[in-house]
Amino acid sequence: MNEDSEPGTVRPGGRTARVRASVLRAAGDVLAERGFAHLDLADVARRAGVGKTTVYRRWGAVAGLVADLLAEMVEESVPHAETGSLLNDLKANANLVRRTLCDPRQGALFKAVIAAATYDERTAQALRRFYDARVTEWAPCVTQAIDRGEVPAGTDPCEVIRAVSAPLYYRLLTIGEPPDETAAERAARAAAAGARAGVYVR
C-alpha cells in the first residue's frame, strides 16, 4: 500500500508531500497564466508529471484544488510582526499584502481566485478560510496595542487588520493597479489613525 492511498498521511519530504507540492505548483501556474476558467485537472496532472487518477482521487474537482492552494498559502504565511508599535506592525502587514498582490504569480492567482469566488461557492468558502487565517494570525498586533493603551479598549482587532488590506485589494480589483509602497504605507497609516480614533470599537 503506497502513501497515495492514505490522504491523511503527509510526511514532509515524503512522496505524498512531493506530489502535493508538484500539483499545487502546476495548478498555480495554470491559474496565473490562464485563469480559473482554464483550470483543468487533467492538464494540471500532466504538467505536474503525476497520474490523473491520483489528482482526481485526492482533490476531486477544481474547487478542491483551489482550496488546497489557499491552504498551502496559509501554511507558508508570514507570522505577525511584533515591533512594539501598532503603526509599524500594520506597515509590516501592508507590505506583506503588497508583496503578495504585486508578485506576478501570486497577484494573478489572487485575481483569478477572487473572480472565481464571485460565482463558485466552494472557492468562496476557501477564500474566506484563507482570509480568516491571515486575519487571525495578525490580530495580536492590535490586541497588544490595546494592552499598551495605543488604541481604545473594545477595538475589534480583526476589523483593523482587514482595514489594512481593503484599500490594497480595492486598488487591484477596481482600478487594476497592483498597490505600490506609497499605497501600502497609506493603508497602514489610515488603519492606525482609524483605530486610534475609536472607529473599530465594537
Which residues in this chain contact a second copy in the complex, by CB under 8 A? 35, 37, 111-112, 114-119, 124, 127-128, 131, 159, 162-163, 165-167, 169-171, 173-176, 186, 189-191, 193-194, 196-197, 199-200
Q: Which three three-digit cell numbers place residue 42?
A: 487533467
**Beta carbon of residue 129, minimum distance to a second copy (angstroms, whole number):** 11
Please, which residue, 18 or 129, has the CB nearer to a second copy?
129
**Beta carbon of residue 93, minimum distance to a second copy (angstroms, whole number):** 14
Please, which residue, 146 or 199, has the CB nearer to a second copy?
199
Please, which residue, 56 or 194, has the CB nearer to a second copy?
194
User: Phi/psi at 152 (nearest 5 deg)?
Assistant: -65, 150
Please, which residue, 114 or 146, has the CB nearer to a second copy?
114
Query: Cα separation of 34 and 50, whole Å?
Result: 20
Please, which residue, 99 or 196, has the CB nearer to a second copy?
196
**Beta carbon of residue 61, minimum distance to a second copy (angstroms, whole number):** 18
Rg, Å, the chain Cα set: 19
**Beta carbon of residue 102, minimum distance to a second copy (angstroms, whole number):** 15
Query: Cα separation of 39 and 33, whole Å?
Result: 10
**Beta carbon of residue 116, minimum distance to a second copy (angstroms, whole number):** 8
Q: If you ran DSSP here, which 8-state letter would residue 49 be given? A: T
Query: Cα separation of 111 and 108, whole Å?
Result: 5
Q: Name the packing angle between helices 15-34 and 104-117 (round to 10°).
A: 80
What Å distances lie between residue 201 and 38, 128, 138, 148, 189, CA to CA? 43, 23, 17, 16, 17
